[in-house]
Structure 1
Amino acid sequence: MLKKRIFFHMGLKDLRLNDAYSTGMGDDVVNDFYIPILGCAVEYNRISGYFSSKSLAITASGINGLIQNDGVMRLLTSPNLEKKDVECISDILSGDPILLEKYLLQELDSFDLEESFTKDHVKALAWMLKNNRLEIRIALPITTNGNSDPASLFHSKIGYIKDVMGDSLTFTGSNNETGSGLIRNIEDFKVFFSWGSDKDKKCVDIDTLTFEKYWNNESPCVKTVSLPDAVHQRLLTVAPNSIDDLDLEKYYAERKQSQRAIKLYDYQKDAINSWFEAEKRGLFEMATGTGKTFTAIGCLERLLLERTSPLLIVITCPQVHLVNQWETSIRKFDLDVDVLYNSNELGSTWKDKFSDLLSHLNLGRKQSAILITTHRTFSSSKFIEILSRKKKRFEVCIVADEAHGTGAEGAQKGLLPLYDYRLALSATPRRLYDEEGTDAIFDFFGDTLYEFPLDRAITTINPATGMMFLTSYRYVPIFVNLSRGEYLDYQELSTQIQNARFYHGDPDKDVNRDILEKLLIKRANIVKNCDEKYPMFERLLSDISKTLMNTLIFVDPGQFSSILSILDSHNIRHHQFTQSEGAKPAKNGCGLSERDEIIRDLQSGKYQALVAMQCLNEGVDIPSADTGIILASSTNPREYVQRLGRLIRNFPGKEMATVYDFIVCQNLNGVRTILPSELNRARYIGVSAQNSDEILSQLYV
């Protein structure tokens, strides 16, 4: 049976396509280009260099999507003639179609029906021909006076696709639609988008006009003729009565399965089993780099296989860039699902498309769907209203990445009882100073079922790589002191905090909760913005500036402008990495967001450092980064664990990471005392460092 696995009601604009493809660079052009675009298409126009049974087969790559869209196809090709036969073209052009039939039928008669890949695809095209969904014309080179041109070959290669929205793209390059052209040869082609740049639009117009002129026999150098009747009839002999008799996905599914790079290991399988044993509810506490995303997808794969009703899977993430990363991981895993939505790419249309999708799940028209979205959207009143109103005949699974975020007061609204299955992922699920939010997370998702902490990740070999899951690191604490004024302010605020906590002798009283929170923030800002950090940072730059590369600098908003100025004065090539840089893929089809480009430029050496403010704590993959400078003095375990995680991901050539951490102390009468909140962070990071013995001796002098 035909099975559509592409986006439901998606257009070409919604796909993440490259500007160019190259099989020599490892691109899988069949699965990453042809199948997705044809899944959106209502019109497919193709000029291919040669007419052959293989060209028909590969031309039909993804043709099931086009068929289900009630699409039509026009194929313009040339006969695969031997050089000795070229002179016969004159007879063909003079009005004797029998010769053309002879050569085309000769090719079809050599067609091996036992080759299942070729058989199914040619049968699909024959069905389209029979049902007036396909027209084939033959192109023959001629001279300007209309005679045959034995020295010429019709070697043009243009593809022109239009979707239901009226958007279109064209592609041109070296690729013939033959088995070798798409699977074995080294081929390259460029893609142009009607919604792209002015240059793109112009190229689309030129390619479209070129196709139409060839098709309508308006070129002075090419004569276009209809497919001879005998060849038409020969193709119809292999046409099935019903297109549902074919399984066009079979070849691609087998091929992708054999190529799938993702293999689940025993520890991941243990986590998956624990979730099913707990009735599909629970939490995985797994450090960054230990494969928690693929472990979760493994849970979903098994859930999809075992489901007995239509299933909606909602994956919620704290940041937009994580939504894109989840989509990439699901595609890499090749999860078998009917519909995959990325809410970032749906834009303002997400409400209508989400509502339509749920209707189709209720009606059984779709059996499985995934929506990847943000904590903000999944807890919004509109999302809740649509899901609550539409949930009738399907089940729902929620996967919360960085699940600690769902414990925030606003995000808790999204923790609906209607979710049948629940999975939470977080290296640090407990919320600092927020017992109510922490309780909400565990009450909704259930207990921690599986743990893979940081210290285990640094000392355990990853079976996929033969290396540790995470890179080892050196920890270099840089001790800075509060000034006398800062120390007095710190002590005064500490007294006020203590009084607020024990108001009227009742530490659980809520009256002063807001006041207490403001006092804690005010005191934390003194530590974060300690004046001595700036000269000590300059001293550090003087020591390491000659070798400083692939560096992440974590700062607080109050430090941001000063740190940028210091970097400028030391001629350090840097770029900010904040909430203001775009996380959505560019609309020109290149697939890179502004953030992606910045990360790429760090890895290439264009920038030596990224200055991160409040956005590198969760899920941004910058594996090339091997040096971190922590100026922000976070007391939240979740934040400093995540910052460390940004630096110790494995990367080719990275043998060890280095973490410089500015530790704030008070110095009274020559005696240094590390502030308690700072000591907790230093102890946590230091205990797993390669130089842990040295660090512990410094912390407890």
Structure 2
Amino acid sequence: MSFRDIELKPEYRSKLDNVIRDFYNPVLKQAVTYKRAVEFFSSSALLSLTAGICGLIDNSGSIQLIASPRLSPEDVEAINDGIRRRDEVIKEALIRELREPKGKFEEARLNLLSNLIAAGRLEIKIAFLEDDNTVGMFHEKLGLMYDRDDNIIAFSGSMNESANAFTSNYEAIDVFASWTQDANRVYTKQSAFNAMWEDYEPSIRVMDFPDVKDEILRRYRVNDRIDTGLDDDSPAENTAPTDEPVASIGPMIPVHVHMRLYQMKAIEEWTKRNYVGIFDMATGTGKTYTALAAVSRLFADKHQNLAVMIICPYQHLVEQWKEDIVAFGMKPIICYSASPQRNWRERLKTAVTSFNLGVQNHFCMVATNATFSIDYVQDLIAKLKGNVVLVVDEAHNFGAENLSHTLLPHIPYRLALSATIDRHGDPEGTQKLYDYFGEKCIEYTLKDAIDNDMLTPYYYHPIPVSLNDEELGNYLDLTNKIRKNIHADKGGAIKLSEYAKMLLIKRARIVAGAAEKIGTLRRLMEDYKNDNQILIYCGATTMHDVDYQEGKPPIEEARQIDIVAGMLGNDLAMRVTKFTSEENAEERERIKADFAEGTHLQALVAIRCLDEGVNIPSIRTAFIMASSTNPKEYVQRRGRVLRKFHGKRHAVIFDFITLPVALDEVRNYDLDVIEDVKSLAKREIIRIKDFAAIAENPFDSDSLIAEIQRNYDIENDIITEEVEEYV
């Protein structure tokens, strides 16, 4: 069989055609050579290259790729003004476009390309415009495919080189064949490509960059196997445009996903408990995949009849989930206010009605907590009948009064995911979670994850700082007000008014923003000012606080992050940027890529990124200036710092321990004052012990703990108990 046996259309448009299935797959299945020019070099462009190539690889075929570096205006200016060497600037621009793979699907395809490079079957050259000693960017988009009989197919147009080439982004290509009346056009495009490849096209320079190839191998090569089964599990097959009705075969575990023993045991336990339970798993241990595999098991057990609802706190987490949901064979309805599916309400209503009538045997929705809670969605869910599963990520949030009432009792199958399921200081909220979701099917701790090489080992260094006189006075004043606004119920349990909760937040911000932290950080950073992949974590407000708003940091947080960023950038001449909840998804990805690469960016000064599910695995050194006294939160934050990354053998954590009074000043204060602030010292000791217990240097904190206990007259046995935050 040759190209001539394929029924080709003169053009393919993704709104009308499945371009991968109808064009790339059949053509590349017969091809032995694939030549491609793309607009910009990036990991996204590399991913787009893998569409359909497994047939080519089975034919022992080869690939030639030409791409342009994505140069910033500053890059172009630096080259054209002679400030920096052209090749050096271009190499840095290329490397900063190599993003971390999103999930196993991308990881497998980038690994495949890495092995093709290593085998000499994929060659990459970089093109740029060069005229009158100035540099510009190359914008050619074309492709050429050759079969064994030297038939040639050429194509050009708005080819999809998006962040995920296997989505329904718009793509339109014109196709020309060498055995038709288009032969001259084919040969013209072939000549143009060859002229560029051999570097004799006027005004275009085309060069090898061996360091970039080496970087691709370093980042993406996870094994040396050339896997040609990847097209079988492409989530793009039959992907519908985002404004068309959603149809889905149903959840199944992708062939490239291999569940670990502890994940399989969790799923088995959930199955035994009639598909109701809790996965209490540390950050970075595969909660998402375990949950989707459990849903796949339930779908099979219920004879492929199942409605799936997945709920998570924030919009960016919905988008993260969407990638994995698609990889597991589902096409979710994306439910939140700014959803790319503009008609998600109608979709959801249609899906619920169709499922109830038996017209549709499966649908999947993924929503934010806020959208899940609105009356429109709650009313629709209340009408659902039959096999329905509710999966809630960061499920500890649903112990709160405003969310617990959304957990509808008629849903038969339930799965809660959390690294911190027990709610700190809220036994009633915790009990609501256990009453609805049942017992834990697995408890996989940070220690388990580190011991089993799922997370990175770490060294822990507690750094004591103290409140100044003004801060201490405000702390004492707020403590007295808090005590006046609490009461015990009939059972003796402490109840906090909304006013008391606000006072607690104000007091926590005093601790988080202690002025001494800035100078202490300045001294510590002298030893790290030439390093990279450093996180400085600011801010005390968490997503559990009553005045928390996504994307709107309080004034205290904003002030601290500005001071820290200014100090590092101006005083120490470090390359830093702020990382908050205000950046959009694209900006965050670019910052994370620059941070991982390490040349243009040394440090992130961040607010909340360790709370909100943002993954920055390249962090090697973390300065936690504002840690929580909530054990469940700082366990979660630590897990995010410990995510694995290429070449990251361990992490280093500097934890700022805020004491109400400096250790050498305690004896100068009245006993009543020290008694009033002692609880803060107790809570800080609890955190030190927790961090140190599973660190690589567990005993290095002992002397500080002993000194705090001695100066504050704290008995050792009291430290093992949970200290209430209101005292």
**TM-score class, shorter:** 0.5 to 0.7
Confirm whether residue 446 of structure 1 aligns to residue 438 of structure 2: yes
Q: Which residue of 1 aligns with 2:648?
A: 654
1:309 Cα deviation from its structure 2 partner: 6.5
Q: Which residue of 1 aligns with 2:429?
A: 437
- Equivalent of 1:600, from 580, 583, 593? 593
1:684 Cα deviation from its structure 2 partner: 1.4
Aligned pairs (5 A) from 1:548-587: 548-556=532-540, 557=554, 558=556, 559-569=560-570, 570-583=572-585
Equivalent residues of 1:635, 1:677 under 8 A apart: yes
Q: Which amino acid aligns with 1:488?
A: G
Q: Which residue of 1 aligns with 2:690?
A: 684
Q: Which amino acid aligns with 2:463?
A: I
Equivalent residues of 2:535, 2:606 under 8 A apart: no
Q: Secondary structure at the match of 1:478?
A: strand
1:415 Cα deviation from its structure 2 partner: 0.9
Q: Which amino acid aligns with 2:403?
A: A
Aligned pairs (5 A) from 1:69-88: none
- Equivalent of 2:365, from 333, 346, 371? 371
* Per-residue Cα deviation, 1:609-659 (whole angstroms, up to 9, x for no partner): 222212331322211111111111311223212221121111121111011
Give me the whole-angstrom Cα distance separating, in 1, the residues matched to 2:619 and 2:650. Answer: 10
Confirm whether residue 538 of structure 1 aligns to residue 530 of structure 2: no
Give me the whole-angstrom Cα distance separating, in 2, the residues matched to 1:471 and 1:492. Answer: 42
Confirm whether residue 294 of structure 1 aligns to residue 296 of structure 2: no
Q: Which residue of 2 aligns with 1:357?
A: 351
Q: Bigger CA drift: 535-544 or 39-48?
A: 39-48
Q: Which residue of 2 aligns with 1:624?
A: 618
Q: Which residue of 2 aligns with 1:15?
A: none
1:270 Cα deviation from its structure 2 partner: 1.0
Q: Which residue of 1 aligns with 2:457?
A: 472
Q: Bigger CA drift: 279-288 or 213-222?
A: 213-222
Q: Secondary structure at the match of 1:399?
A: strand
Unaligned runs of 5+ in 2: 1-8, 32-139, 164-169, 187-228, 236-251, 541-553, 668-677, 708-727
Aligned pairs (5 A) from 1:5-84: 41=16
Confirm whether residue 173 of structure 1 aligns to residue 142 of structure 2: yes
- Equivalent of 1:522, from 491, 506, 514? 506
* Per-residue Cα deviation, 1:321-344 (whole angstroms, up to 9, x for no partner): 222222222344xx344x433336
Q: Which residue of 2 aligns with 1:3?
A: none
Give me the whole-angstrom Cα distance separating, in 2, the residues matched to 1:577 and 1:664. Answer: 24
Aligned pairs (5 A) from 1:243-262: 253=232, 260-262=255-257
Give me the whole-angstrom Cα distance separating, in 1, the residues matched to 2:608 and 2:27. Answer: 58
**Cα distance change on mapping 1:488 and 1:396 into 2, 3 Å:** same
Report the RMSD for the aligned CA atoms in angstroms. 4.3
Give me the whole-angstrom Cα distance separating, in 2, the residues matched to 1:696 and 1:677. Answer: 16
Q: Which residue of 2 aligns with 1:697?
A: 703
**Cα distance change on mapping 1:45 and 1:600 into 2, 3 Å:** closer
- Equivalent of 2:388, from 387, 396, 410? 396
**Cα distance change on mapping 1:563 and 1:278 into 2, 3 Å:** same
**Cα distance change on mapping 1:39 and 1:355 into 2, 3 Å:** farther
Give me the whole-angstrom Cα distance separating, in 1, the residues matched to 2:418 and 2:535. Answer: 25
Q: Secondary structure at the match of 1:543?
A: coil
1:46 Cα deviation from its structure 2 partner: 12
Q: Which residue of 2 aligns with 1:21?
A: none
Equivalent residues of 2:561, 2:578 under 8 A apart: no
**Cα distance change on mapping 1:388 and 1:474 into 2, 3 Å:** same
Give me the whole-angstrom Cα distance separating, in 2, the residues matched to 1:265 and 1:194. Answer: 33
Give me the whole-angstrom Cα distance separating, in 2, the residues matched to 1:686 and 1:596. Answer: 32
Give me the whole-angstrom Cα distance separating, in 1, the residues matched to 2:364 and 2:478. Answer: 49
* Per-residue Cα deviation, 1:561-608 (whole angstroms, up to 9, x for no partner): 22222122222222222221113xxxxxxxxx2222221111112221
Q: Which amino acid aligns with 2:400?
A: A
Percent of aligned pairs with the same amino acid: 32
* Per-residue Cα deviation, 1:232-275 (whole angstroms, up to 9, x for no partner): xxxxxxxxxxxxxxxxxx99658999983311122111111110
Give me the whole-angstrom Cα distance separating, in 2, the residues matched to 1:500 and 1:448. Answer: 35
Unaligned runs of 5+ in 1: 1-33, 57-170, 197-202, 223-249, 462-467, 584-592
Q: Which residue of 1 aligns with 2:478?
A: 493
Q: Which amino acid aligns with 1:262?
A: V
**Cα distance change on mapping 1:438 and 1:54 into 2, 3 Å:** closer
**Cα distance change on mapping 1:358 and 1:220 into 2, 3 Å:** same
Q: Which residue of 2 aligns with 1:92?
A: none
**Cα distance change on mapping 1:607 and 1:253 into 2, 3 Å:** same
1:413 Cα deviation from its structure 2 partner: 3.6
Q: Which amino acid aligns with 1:683?
A: K
Give me the whole-angstrom Cα distance separating, in 2, the residues matched to 1:656 and 1:180. Answer: 54
Equivalent residues of 2:307, 2:363 under 8 A apart: yes
Q: Which amino acid aligns with 2:462?
A: P
**Cα distance change on mapping 1:532 and 1:48 into 2, 3 Å:** closer
1:497 Cα deviation from its structure 2 partner: 2.8
* Per-residue Cα deviation, 1:520-560 (whole angstroms, up to 9, x for no partner): 22221221111111111111222211224343433344122
**Cα distance change on mapping 1:523 and 1:46 into 2, 3 Å:** closer
Equivalent residues of 1:48, 1:177 under 8 A apart: no
Give me the whole-angstrom Cα distance separating, in 2, the residues matched to 1:251 and 1:481. Answer: 56
Give me the whole-angstrom Cα distance separating, in 1, the residues matched to 2:20 and 2:635. Answer: 53
Q: Secondary structure at the match of 2:595?
A: helix
